[in-house]
Amino acid sequence: MADDDGFNPLEGVGLMVKLAVRILQGPMRYERLPPGTSRSEKVAALRPIERAAIFRSALYGVFAGGIVVLTAWLLIPYEPAAGEPWQAYVPVFVFLLLAGVIATVLEMMLIYYDTMRSSRAVAARLGISPNNLHDDSTEAALVLSLIQAGIEAPNPRVPRYGIDPRIYIPHWRLVSASVLYKLKVTATRIVARALWRRILFRLLGRSAGRASIEAVAIPVFAIWNVIVVRSVMREVRVRALGKEAVDELESYLFPRGFAALPEDVRLACLRAVRSQVTLVADFHPNVSMMLDRMIAAHGSDMVEQEQPKCLLAASVHDLPADARQTVLLTFAATCALDGRIRRKHRRKFKQLLEITKRPDLAGSLNVFRDYVRDGTPLESHV
C-alpha cells in the first residue's frame, strides 16, 4: 500500500522481491547492537550470522546431492546391461537429469530463503527495520539493496546525473552479459555438476556404480555453495553498513564538506566516481549514495556527453597537489564502497598515483577496501 504522499517502495518490483520483503519483515530473535559500537565490532558481531548461513548452504548442497544419489540408487535395477545401444540408457539419464534439476531448484529455494533470513538477522543487529519501508525512503532503499544482494540481482545500469555506466561497453556484450547473468545461477550448477560427473566417471571407471559417482560429487557441490553464499553474505554486510561507510568516508575525504571544494576539484572528484562506475558498468548502491550527496553539494549533474576516457587524468594534471590527493582518494574510496576492485581499477589507480606523485598512498585502495569490508579503522593506516 502507498502512503498518503504517494511513496511506495514496492511499486514495480517483481514477485521474488515482494516475497523477500515478507521474509525480512518476519520476527527475529536477534537484538540490536548497542549505540556506540564501532564498525569493526559490528563486523565481528555479524560474522556468526554469516558463518551459520554458509554452513547451512553446505548442508543444502549435501541434501540436493543426496536426492540425486537416492535416484541413482533406485535406478540401478533398470540400468541396461553392458553392450546395450545408447538408446537404452536414455530413460536412466532422463530420470537422473530430472532429479538433478528438481534437486537444484529446491536447493536454490532453500539458499535464497536462508540468505533472506540471514539478511533479516543482519538488519536486526544493525537496527535496520524492514517494517518501516513506507515511512523512510532511505531505509526502504537500504532494505531493497539487501534483497538484491541476497537474490544476486544485478545492480542498476540506468544513466544517472549524466553518467552512463555502459558507455564503454559494446551493445552485444551487454545483451550477452544479461542473458548469461539470468542463466548462471541454475544453468551453471547443472552444467558444472554434469561435467563433474563425467570427470568422475572417467576417473573411477565404468566399474563404479552411478550412485557411487554421485556420492563422491556431493562434497564438491557443498563447497560450491559455500563459495557462493560466502560472497553473498559479504555483500549483504557491505550494503547493510553502507550508509555508515559513506558518512565516514565523506567526512574523511571532504573535511569541510564537498561544496567547500573549488569547482574544478569537485568536477575531478565526480569524474573519479564516474570512472569507477563505467569500469564496472553499473551503479552499486553504496556508490549511488555517495554520488547523490556529491551531486547535491555540487549543485548540477555531469553534463559532458563525450566522456572521453582520458578526461579524469587530464583534469587531475591541472590541479594543485592537495587537490590531486583528494581526487586520488575519492577514486580509491569509491572503488572500496563498491567492493569489486578489478584489474582495470588498479590500473586507473596506478595512473592517478603517478600523476599525484604520492607513493606513500599506494596502499590506500586496499586500506579503504579493508575499512568497508572488514571494519579496519582508517586512522590506523591512511
Residue 200 or residue 216, greater confidence:
216
pLDDT of residue 260: 93
How far apart are the C-alpha atoms of 281 and 274, rounded to whole Å? 10
What is the mean predicted confidence (pLDDT) over 203-227? 66
pLDDT of residue 72: 77
How many Å is the Cα radius of gyration of the chain? 25
**Residue 358 pLDDT exceeds 80:** yes
Mean pLDDT of the chain: 78
Give the pTM: 0.79
The owner of cell 572528484 is 269
**Residue 353 pLDDT exceeds 60:** yes
pLDDT band at residue 6 under the 50/70/90 scheme: very low
**Residue 41 pLDDT exceeds 80:** yes
The owner of cell 540401478 is 76
Taking CB atoms within 8 Å and a gap of at least 24, the contacts of 49-52 are 49/118, 49/121, 49/122, 49/125, 49/233, 50/118, 50/230, 50/233, 50/234, 50/237, 52/118
Count of beta carbons in the 10 Å neighbourhood of residue 282: 18
**Residue 351 pLDDT exceeds 60:** yes
Residue 263 or residue 194, greater confidence:
263
What are 163's strand-pairing partners?
A: 160
Residue 159 or residue 140, greater confidence:
159
How far apart are the C-alpha atoms of 14 and 20, rounded to whole Å? 10
HSE-up (13 A, CA, CB side) for residue 7 = 11
Q: Which of 18-22, 107-111, 303-307, 324-328 has the highest mean pLDDT?
A: 324-328
Backbone dihedral region of 307: left (phi > 0), alpha (psi from -120 to 50 degrees) or beta?
A: left
Q: Judge whether 166 and 157 are in contact, CB under 8 Å.
A: yes
